[in-house]
Structure 1
Amino acid sequence: MSPPEVIVVPFPHPGHLFPATELCNQLASRNCHVTVFYPSSSSPSSLSLHPLIRIVEFSLEDSVNFKPPALDETLLKLIAVYFKDRNSSDFPVCAIVDEMIGWAIDPFLELEVPAVTFFTSSACSSALAHAMDQIIRSTDDLLTPGTIVHRSPAPERDGCAPASSSSAARRGPPNGRATAR
């Protein structure tokens, strides 16, 4: 039985391509065939050296200053062409799409290919975003219209995890005063 295929579709910007490259290398190290869609101007040579990684290149005029509609149209065509002559029994086991182009999971789902999005920021910023949402949800009933709440990471936990609502209450707001308009 051949290794499963996973498609990776990164957002074509340098800050997103490096994490996608690392993801591809991790998947290949676990014996997955990886097909990654990369702009031809940014295709990393390190990926082409791995026998389980296949790069499908596409052109964008400028991978830093491109217009979103051009990317949308290009990726939709690329996905359609990629699947055009394939038998559904030969489809990839899943597609992993950068969160910045989360809409691109739709064509995969229409083809009944499971698809997920990935977030290219650090685990710390992902944890902060999740924790901030949880804190805001848990304190909604404490907030009144016009109140500004300052929250920051807890330095006692390596500056990575957000302060809990109880530690924020214990220490108080920044500069020792609450701000309200």
Structure 2
Amino acid sequence: MSRPHVLVIPYPAQGHVMPLMELSHNMVDRGFKITFVNTESIHKRVVAAMSKNSDYEDFINMVAIPDGVETEEERNDLGKLSNTMIKVMPGHFEKLIKKINESKDGDDKIACVIADQTLGWALEVAEKLSIQRAVFWSSSAVLLALTLHIPRLIEDGIINTEGIPLTNQMIHLSTTMPAMKTGHFVWACFGDSDLQKTIFKLMFDNTPSTKLANYIICNSFYELEPSAFNLVPNLKPIGPLLASSRLAHFWPEDLTCLSWLDQQPAKSVIYVALGSFTVLDKRQFDELALGLELCGQRFLWVVRPDLTNDGTDSYPDGFETRVCSRGRMVGWAPQREVLAHPSVACFLTHCGWNSTLEAISVGVPLLCWPYFADQNLNKEYICEIWKIGLGLKPDENGLISRDEFKTKVVGLLGNEEIKTSAMELKEIAMKNVSSGGASFKNFEDFIEEIK
């Protein structure tokens, strides 16, 4: 019996590729065949990072289309990347679908396109070709509610037509929603004003495309942000997304850190990972290193090859020698396995949505250090609403000092209320994805509709 064929396309960033790959694995488990479409640049990185012994799965076919951007350096300019993609990718995407649908195997036609919400053009192509359409939202439901409220925010004089907050204030999207800082609007959290305008335009322009979708799904669960789901009633949470296998890393994983964790006492290790975009200047990198040393705790620190803006990643003098008995630095870690490890006590994180959900799903408390985009908003929920973490405070120069790292680590590890809240939220999360849970049921309904 042939499998229904679904085409999945993420925005080209790790935080978007990863959850859509997890969704793809879960769909393969339910009898689907997947064509997973990355840009050529991302496709190369994912393939290069795959371990030598992992074959492409029988039912997930990874393909690539051009994004129209010339160099990797230009790709780091999110504004340029987004603008070029809109001009170049729709034509290639349409050709790919037609090629698949016109192949000799008549049973292989695309039954549904699942597109990242930021790729409205992919939904337009699917509609033109009369294919079912689903939107996948890769951030919090709160952020989607905010995005869909952009016209009202302009109308109410809270932001101008370029998304710039007209006053620094706290607002409520509804009477049941927690207050939100206008300075934490996702598009306002990109340093450069031109980029802020581009990101705002991208979000604003993609809002109508959501109406083209037959289904809107997201990686969350009702109890996590109930008032947001009241504002977007057709949004169905299917999270936290958990998959046994993932082919979506941008860097090769260092699996030796798991055997190192095996040798550490229970709840003794600080796990430090700041996502795929965070960049630190040399002073801040050194303060983080010296802060980890000052804590006196065991730690596992993910130091990406491009974590610092000068690209050197050279540690403070003598640091590696002094911490060698209790610290481990790796280029990239298998994060889900690390967070679930009994020796991990807390997670120093950039508050990306995927990292946040991964920590929630294993009950690990969070030390929050947001970098950009939706991460400030996520931090507010982690610290103020869910009460499962503490935030780091910069000094008057914008630097998180080594003493601040030490103070907050000690404070978090000694806070029983936070640990209890984290474990309680984990139980709710796991109940959602277990048989009979709301996320489980939403996913089953989605599968049946597509089939």
TM-score (norm 1): 0.64
Unaligned stretches of 5+ residues in structure 1: 138-143, 165-181
Query: 2:113: which partner in 1?
Result: 95
Aligned counterpart for 1:50 among listed residues 50, 57, 61: 57
CA distance in 1, matches of 2:58, 2:121: 30
The match for 2:9 is 9
Q: Which amino acid aligns with 2:115?
A: V
Other-structure match for 1:22: 22
Secondary structure of 1:54's counterpart equals: strand
Is the 2:7–2:110 contact (alpha carbons within 8 Å) kept by the matching residues of 1? yes
**2:83 alignment partner in structure 1:** 69
Structure-2 change in CA distance of 1:145 and 1:73 (3 Å): closer
Q: Show the 5 A alignment for 1:131-142.
A: none
Q: Does 1:153 align with 2:178?
A: yes
Alpha-carbon distance in 1 for matches of 2:131, 2:102: 12
Q: Secondary structure of the equivalent of 1:3?
A: coil
Match of 1:112 among 130, 144, 147: 130
Distance 1:159 1:99, change over 3 A: closer
Structure 2-normalised TM-score?
A: 0.28
> What one-letter code is carried by the residue in structure 1 that aligns with 2:35?
T
Classify the secondary structure of the residue corresponding to 1:2. coil
2:141 alignment partner, SS class: helix
Preserved CA contact (<8 Å) 1:37 1:56 = yes
Q: 1:159 to 1:149 in 2, by over 3 A?
A: same
Contact 2:6–2:35 (Cα < 8 Å) also in 1? yes
**CA-based RMSD:** 3.7
Unmatched 5+ residue regions in structure 2?
Answer: 159-168, 180-222, 231-451
**Residues of 2 paired with 1:92 and 1:38: CA distance?**
17
Q: Distance in 1 between matches of 2:16 and 2:24?
A: 13
Q: Report the 3-state secondary structure (helix = DSSP H, G, I; strand = E; otherwise coil) of the residue aligned with 2:118.
A: helix
Match in the other structure for 2:35: 35
Q: 1-side partners of 2:142 and 2:157: how far apart?
A: 27
Aligned to 1:57, what secondary structure does the other structure show? strand
Instruction: For residues 38-76 of structure 1, give each alpha carbon's deviation from its aligned partner in whole angstroms, at most 9, with x where no partner exists.
Output: 123323346963110001113444454343232123322
CA positional deviation for 1:159:
7.0
- Tell whether 2:133 aligns with 1:126: no
What's 2:247 paired with?
none
Q: Encode CA deviations 1:84-113: one digit per residue, 9 max, x unaligned.
A: 443395421100111011222111111111
| Alpha-carbon distance in structure 2 between the residues aligned to 1:106 and 1:82 | 15
Identity of aligned residues (%): 24
**8 Å Cα contact 1:14/1:64 also seen in 2:** no
Q: Report if the CA contact (8 A) 2:115-2:136 is conserved.
A: yes
Distance 2:36 2:157 in 1: 47
| Secondary structure of residue in 2 paired with 1:69 | helix
Distance 1:16 1:64, change over 3 A: farther
Match of 1:177 in 2: none
In 2, the alpha carbon distance for the partners of 1:145 and 1:120 equals 28
One-letter code of the match for 2:178?
Answer: P
Contact 2:137 2:144 in 1 (8 A): no
User: Structure 1 residues 48 and 97 mapped into 2: Cα distance closer, same or farther (>3 Å)?
Assistant: farther
Shift of the alpha carbon at 1:161? 3.8
CA distance in 2, matches of 1:79, 1:159: 35
Distance 1:108 1:117 in 2: 12
Asked if 2 retains the 8 angstrom alpha-carbon contact of 1:8 and 1:97, the reply is yes
Alignment-derived partner of residue 79 in structure 1: 93
Residues in 2 aligned to 1:58 and 1:35: alpha-carbon distance in whole angstroms? 12
Partner SS, residue 71 of structure 1: helix
